[in-house]
Structure 1
Amino acid sequence: MKRRTLLASAAMGLMLASGAFAQGMDKVKACFVYVGPIGDGGWTYQHHQGALAVQEKFGDKVEIQYQENVPEGADAERVLTQMALGGCNIIFTTSFGYMDATNAVAAKFPDVKFEHATGFKREHPNVSTYNARFYEGRAVEGLIAGRMTKSNKIGYIGSFPIPEVIMGINSYYLAAKKVNPDVQLSVVWAFTWFDPAKEADSAKALIDQGVDVIASHTDSTAPLAEAAKTGGKVIGFGQASDMAVPEYMPTPRVTSIIDNWAPYYVERVGALLDGTYEQKDTWAGIGGGEVQIGEITEAIPAEVKAEAEALRDAIGAGTLHPFTGPINKQDGSPWLAEGATAPDGDLLGMGFYVEGITGDIPQ
Structure 2
Amino acid sequence: MSAPPISELTDRARDIFRLVVEGYLESGQPVGSKTLAGDTGLNLSPASIRAVLADLESTGLLSAPHTSAGRMPTETGLRLFVDGMMRVSEPTAEERAAIEGRLNGNGPIEQALEQTSAILSDLSGAAGMVMVPTRDQKLAQFSLVDLGQGRALAVLVSEDGNVENRVIELGGTLGPGLLEQASNYINAKLAGRTLNEAGASILKEITAGKSQLDEASKSLVERGLAVLSEDASQRPVLIVRGQANLLDDAAMQDIDRVRSLIEDLESKQSVAELLESAREAEATRIFIGSENRLFALSGSSVIASPYRDREGRVVGVLGVIGPTRLNYARVIPMIDLTARSLGKLIG
Larger Rg: 2
Q: Which has the higher helix share?
A: 2
* TM superposition score normalised by structure 1: 0.23
